[in-house]
Structure formats: C-alpha cells, structure tokens
Chains A and B, each alone.
Chain A
Amino acid sequence: MATEVTIPNLGYTMTVAKILNWQKAVGDTVENGEILLEIETDKVNYGIESPASGVVKAILAKVGDEIPVGGLVAIIGKPDEEIDVRSYQKEKKEPPVPEKVQAAGKKEILPPVVPAAGGRVFASPLARKIARTKQVDLSRVMGSGRSGRIRMADVEKYILEGRPRKLEPTSSIGPVEVAEVIPLTTMRRTIAQRLAQSFHDAPHFNLCMEVDITEAKELLEKAIPKKAEGRLEVKLSLNDLFIKAVAVTLRDYPLLNARWKGDQVEVLRDINIGLAVALDNGLIVPAMERADQKRLWQIAKERIDLVERARQGRLTLPELERGTFTVSNLGMYDITFFTSILNPPQTGILSIGKTVDRPVVREGAIVIRPIVQMSLAIDHRVVDGAVGARFMQDLKQGLEKPGLLL
C-alpha cells in the first residue's frame, strides 16, 4: 500500500507552504519519522517527516512550489511496489475541485479559505472565490460591507495594495535603476501585512521612563552560572530579569495582557511573554509560556532555547502564536531608546534600550548609575494612558528593587 505525503495544516492562518528543499530523492529509502522535506509557511520553516517506512516512489512538487494545505507532495511505497504516479498527479495533486468548476473548463487550485483565529470571516461568495484563486487570506482583508462583510472590491484592493507591485521609475530626475528585485518571502509578506495593519488600525501611544538598574546588576553579578542538561551553560542576563518583571507586573494589569477583537476585548488567562528575535531575513516572536510563574533560571534556560531555535527556524506554531505581550530589546545594538509597533492582536509591547551609565541625582548629589530607557506602546482602543502609566511605575519599582520581585 502506497502512503501519501501531504502538506500538514500547521495553524489557523496557514493556507499554503513553499517547498524549501527535499532531503530525499525518488528511489531513496526512508524511515518512518525521518525528515523528508522542508517547507516554509508564513510563520515557520518546518520539516515534514515521512509517515511510513519504504522507498520514495514519487516527488510531486518542486523546490519553490507553493502547495496548499492538504496538497500531495510525495508518495512512499514498498521497494517492489508498482505505482502509477500519473493517476496520483491527476487525481490527488490538487485538492478535490467541485465538478462544475471542472465542467466549465479551467482547473484551479483552491486552498481552503481560513477563518481568522477565533472568528468567522464574513465574505461574499465572489470575494471568497477571488481570494481562493489569488491565494489571499481573507482574515487579513478589511471588509467594507455592512457589519464588515468582505466584498469583491475589498479583496481587489487588498491584492492591489497589499502585494508587491512592479517597480517603476517615478522620480522626476530620471529613472532609477533597479539593482535587484527581491520577491517577498512568506515571512516578509506576513510581517509587512501584520505590522502595516497594526500601525494603521491600532492607535498607538508610547509611555517612556528611565529605570535605575544598579541593584538588578548587583543581583545578577552574584548569580553563578548554572549547568543545564549537559552542554549549555546558563547565564542569567538582564533580559531574563526584564521578562520576569514584566510578566509579574502584568498580573495586576489584565487589560495589558489582552487581545483586541474588533467588538470585544479578550483578557487572557496566561501571561506568555513574546521575545522579538531578529533573523537574517525577518523578525519572529516566540513566546515563553506563563513567564510570571517561572523562576529566573528557568526563564533564562527557555529564553536561550527559544532564541536559538528561532534562528534555526525550528520553532513550533504554538510557540509563535501563544504570545500575550511582547518585549523587544535592542540594547545590544547601542540603541538607548526606541519605540515599537504593536504585535497584533496584542495590546502592549515594551521596548528596552541599552544600559548606559549616566549621571543622576540621588539624595542631592550627582552620582553615576546604570540607567535603562524603556518605552511601552499601547493600543489606545483597549487601554488608556493612566493604566499604562501605573503599569510602568510598578515595573520600575520591581526592577529597581528586584529582591521584591523574586
């Protein structure tokens, strides 16, 4: 019996996957559970394991192909098994297409229309059809119809404005030569869409403050690096303390640990701190689960693991989707102060700059103290200024007297 290898559904917003590489070729022997190919989705790179042991009988998708969820990419069979690959290519490569569509002539790949996480997408049949044909995720399209229903014009506008357009010289001083055209990766496109939408939809405001981390630094210096499960030596960093302090402080501010959902606000039970991790080709925000309940050592261990796997593209979807509040730290780049764009649908994001020794006034005298500048960006639809300010005040107190935190 031949076994089919299909593109798994890895998350709510996933509609297609791009084939990154094949670890096996036709004729290779493969074990059940062995990585067969790697795919790229809008969020992660993911290795697809062989569902059976046997021989790769056929590979039905090339590197670079975009295959919808459920689409057939390979067939595994017994070494001596005869398989008519053509029958698979015809019948199975594309997900079942309704008969009448075929009757009208053209075959179309119709990935399923996915609803936005936690909600139904209201869209006209025509809007849905265009979205399927053009592979538009309707959950990203703003509806202009009654009650936000997505109409044809909305999808067309989205395609026109939300997708890269051909570069054409527009400058009056003459055409500028394009050195290179870089097609958007799925990740780049997702970042662009989500952040543009966040910036456009969520009225941001920023609250800024300075934190004196003299005591925090002393505390960390006293901590001795711990050995964790063999090879990794865990060393506490300031960042771990920031994560812990933010998570603990959030307990008293449920509205900052919440999601904007259009006509309601969802306050989240767990406090999962997302860590903005820069990659060569993008940005990814894996989240640490229930960080408020974890000890500092545990936070450090998990942070190191998350960042490392983020760089290797080995994160799981839950790790990427569970964040409830984000912390972004650009201290290592000598940035002393910055603000961030909200990571939708979260309500808050804390931006942390580089620790700088500054002259400050303490008890009437000028002294040198390590100072960190932080800014909190908030979605004003959910939270008002005073609430954010109180959160910052509590966070400052926690960080300046870290003994109380731990």
Chain B
Amino acid sequence: MSRKVTIIGGGPGGYPAAFILAQQGVQVTLIEKDKLGGTCLNRGCIPTKVLLEASHVLRQIKTAQRMGIRVKEVDVDYSILRKHKDNVVESLVKGVEKLCEARKIRVVKGTGVLETLQSIQIRESGEAIKGDAVVLATGSVPAKIPVPGADGPGVINSDQALSLVQVPPSMVIIGAGYIGLEFAQIFHGLGAKVTVLEMLPQALPNEDQDVANELERALKQEGIQVLTEVTVKEISGKEGRKKVNYAAKGQDHTLESALVMLAVGRRPNTEGLGLEKAGVKTERGRVVVNPFMETSAPGIYAIGDAIGGIMLAHVATAEGHTAANHILGKRHPLDYKAVPRCIYTYPEAASVGLTEAEAKKKYGEILVGRFPLQASGKARIVGGSGFAKVIAEKQYRGIVGVHLVGPHVTEMIAEAAAVMNLECTGEELAHTIHPHPTISEMIMEAAMAVEGYRIHSL
C-alpha cells in the first residue's frame, strides 16, 4: 500500500511538494480553500509583474525618442490591462490544475483543519482525510499596523490594490519594502501621484544600503516621493479624500490622497488550523520547524510563509522540496545562504547572500568589488542606471553576497546564486567567461575587482 500525504495549501510551497511526492508514488491530497497557485499566482508575484511589465513598456515607449522613434500619443486602458493580468493568472492556475490532474493528485476545495496527527478535517464538508504525513503550506496574509484608522475605508492592502477597478489619482503607500516600491511604480506609471512613507531610515530596510539608495534615487527621479524615517500617526477621512498624519523629525505633517495602501509586510496564516491541539509549536504566529521542515509534532511538516523566515515564493518551493524529500527518506537540510531576492521596479534590483553591512559584521574584513552599470557596453544600449557589487570574505575570498541594480538583473541573479551555492571564490566568478555584450558582464567585472584587478572600470 502506498503512503498517503495531505498538504494544506496549494501555493508555490504546497503544490511543488505535492508534485514531488506524487511522482514517487505517494497518494497526495492537496487542500486549497481558494485557487491553486496561492498568493504568488493569484495575488502576488505574477499579477504584480504583469502590471510592472506594462509600466516598463510604457516607460520604454516614452523614452524611445532618443532612438528616433516618434510616438504621437500613448495612453493606458486600465480595464484591458486588468483583463490581461487576469488572463495570465488564469492560464497559470489552469496549468497547475492540469499538472495536478496528470499526477493524480486529489485536489480538495475547502479549509483544512488538523484534527489528530494523521487526520485533517475539511471545515466546509466535514470530510476527514487521513494520511501518514501532513504538510502545512498555508501561506501568509498582508499584515496590519496598529494605527488609528488603519482599517477604515479607503485603506487597502496589496490584495485589494490588485483588484482596483480604476487607477486612483493619488495614493499614499505606507511601507517602502519591495511590495511598497513595486506598487508605487505600478500606480505612478498608470498616472497616480504616489508618496511612499517608511518608518526606518532607509527604503528596503533589509537590503544592502547601496541597493536601497540607488532605487530610492531612481524612484524619486521618476517623480515618486519617498519619505524615510517617518512615523504614521493616524489615517482619517473618507474614501477618495484620505488624510495621513505623520511625524518626521519631530514635526507633524499631513498628506492627502485618494487611497492609502498598507505595504507593511505579511504575517503567517496559521490561525484556526488546529495547531495547538495537534501539538505544533508556533512562535508569534509562525510555525517552528527544523532544517528538514519538521514541526514539533511527529509527521507534521510546515513550509513557506507559514513558517516565516524569508517569505518568498521560491523559498517556499525549496522548503516544499525539502519536506517532500524528507517524507521520502532523503535528508537534505535546507541551506538559506544563497536565496536570491528580486525587486521588479525600474531599475530592477536583485541580491543574494549578505549585505555589505551584514558581511562586515560577520567576517570583519571583507573585499567589495564594484562595477558601475554605466561602464557596460550593453547598458549604454538599453539605458538605465545601476551597478554590480560582489562581496567576499577576505580570508579565502569566498563570495558571501552579490547585489545588482539595473536592467534584467532579476534574470541574472541566478548565476550569483549558483556560484554561492557551489561555494565559489571571486576567482571562479572572475574567470567564468561571460558573453559580450551583455549586462551580465558586470558581475564578472565586479568579481575581478574582488580579486584585485579591473578591465572596464577604474
């Protein structure tokens, strides 16, 4: 008799885990209360990238004149753009459904609740699903802030921002993390007047300072206001005429806008799952797991945003992979050293590993190789601003962080992730032949700088 595994949550953590298990002959039941694909496909990565792509194309059209391309009039029909976004999402969700079908995975629509260690109950139908192991992949929801008026009318989160029927004339976005910045550029591109408020001294507080500065500068240049070190005190007013009171350097200010968007992070979606009863330990809402994704309850695994940590789709996938492998008897602990992080603004930003400040703290002496985008031939052709930065620890010159800002860098960061995963030193990266002319050359050039020499920069 084959083994049975139940997975709660069909997002980018749950469904890959289901596929890996099903391919090894495990009978998998995948419980999803909404649509397969989770936040990533339906409310996150994919739809935001459709909108950002539109804003990039629009920018290209507007700047095409430098190449002699004359464009008479450009405007955006937001209803068509929305439909396009929905079509992309729908086709991908269909794709996941097809793959589930082909792999003979039973997809159950409903909310799964842990009954006993081996049994899950579907809240809506009352059906009990038994199995040998359970994987919790319940994802996350947008977080809130304890500010008066934060749940009033006209205050939206990223889910609601994606389903707006029309573009608001103005918008205040609270939070300058990657979600806030991406939405700022989407709505700015579509014509809204956007202001971003950040409590901490730097936009993208968790990213390398150079990356944050470069993006902040580029966004401001486009006309997006980014205010850091401000404390939001109150949100008031009715929809269409919202007021945001905030303090900056001890002084109170008020901003008016049609809508306010909260982009203050996400929190694990673990409530009402029956965790406590099943003996699954949590810590401030996130499920506690070991490097094999095992929770404190035997046979119960948790992955993805539900366990907190780095809340990114590809991390959830890797965690799903780790949990599935462990269920199959293959013990490969997950190493988070080389997780790429991408921001799809213009210019794009992409990083892997430690920031310069983190590296300095961890290793003391480090080597930092930099290469400015302007020195790249291909960058002159496609335009844009940015840089590459390769950070190595000094003793062995092992690469501990790579940071990129510029066109297409989200497509390029996988190289750096591979190099870090394989534990390369600056030498290997500097001596990897990169194609010319490409923007990827700047990674090689920055690695050369780590090794003490340069070709196209001084």
Contact = CB atoms under 8 A, between A and B. Distances in A.
A127 B452 contact: no
Nearest to B430: A100
A136 B396 CA distance: 15
B151 interface: no
Contacts of B397: 104, 129
Contacts of B430: 100
Contacts, number: 38
Given A100-B451, A100-B452, A152 B398 contact: yes
B396 A100 contact: no
Interface centre among A126, A129, A130, A151, by most chain B C-beta atoms within 10 angstroms, is A126
Contacts of B427: 98, 100, 125
B425 A103 contact: no
A124 interface: yes
A129 B396 contact: yes
A124 B332 contact: no
B423 A152 contact: yes
Interface string A127-140: 10110010000000
A222 interface: no
B449 to A, nearest CB: 11
A165 interface: no
B396 A126 contact: yes
B422 interface: yes
A103 B398 contact: no
A133 B423 CA distance: 16
B428 interface: yes
A130 B422 contact: no
Contacts of A126: 396, 398, 423-425
B453 interface: yes
14 contacts: A100-B451, A100-B452, A103-B452, A104-B452, A125-B423, A125-B424, A125-B428, A126-B396, A126-B398, A127-B423, A129-B397, A129-B425, A146-B332, A151-B423
Nearest to B431: A100
A151 to B, nearest CB: 6
Interface in A84-131: 98, 100, 103-105, 124-127, 129-130
A376 B428 CA distance: 49
Contacts of A130: 396
Give the interface residue-count category, chain A: 10 to 19
Interface of A: 98, 100, 103-105, 124-127, 129-130, 133, 146, 151-152
Given A125-B423, A125-B424, A125-B427, A103 B396 contact: no
Interface in B404-436: 422-425, 427-428, 430
Given A103-B451, A105-B452, A133-B396, 10 more contacts: A100-B427, A103-B453, A104-B451, A125-B422, A125-B424, A125-B428, A126-B396, A126-B423, A129-B396, A129-B397
Interface residues of B, number: 14
A332 to B, nearest CB: 48
A82 B398 CA distance: 44
Contacts of B423: 124-127, 151-152
Contacts of A152: 398, 423
A130 B393 CA distance: 12
B422 A124 contact: yes
Contacts of A124: 422-424
A124 B423 CA distance: 6
Contacts of B428: 125
Given A126-B396, A126-B398, A100 B424 contact: no
Interface in B46-74: none
Contacts of A133: 396
B453 to A, nearest CB: 6
A35 B392 CA distance: 47
A221 to B, nearest CB: 60
A59 B427 CA distance: 34
A98 B427 CA distance: 10
Contacts of B424: 124-126
B455 to A, nearest CB: 13
In the A-B complex, the 6 residue pairs with the smallest Cβ-Cβ separation, listed nearest first, are A124-B423, A126-B423, A126-B398, A103-B452, A104-B452, A129-B396
B450 to A, nearest CB: 9
A130 B427 CA distance: 14
Nearest to B333: A144
A268 to B, nearest CB: 33
A127 B422 CA distance: 10
A127 B396 CA distance: 9
Interface in B176-235: none
A296 B427 CA distance: 59
Contacts of A103: 451-453
Contacts of A151: 423
A317 B423 CA distance: 35
Contacts of B452: 100, 103-105
A105 B428 CA distance: 18
A100, A133, A146: which has the most chain B beta carbons within 10 Å? A100
Contacts of A146: 332
Contacts of A127: 423
A103 B425 CA distance: 15
Nearest to A129: B396
A127 B452 CA distance: 21
Contacts of A104: 397, 451-452
Contacts of A129: 396-398, 425
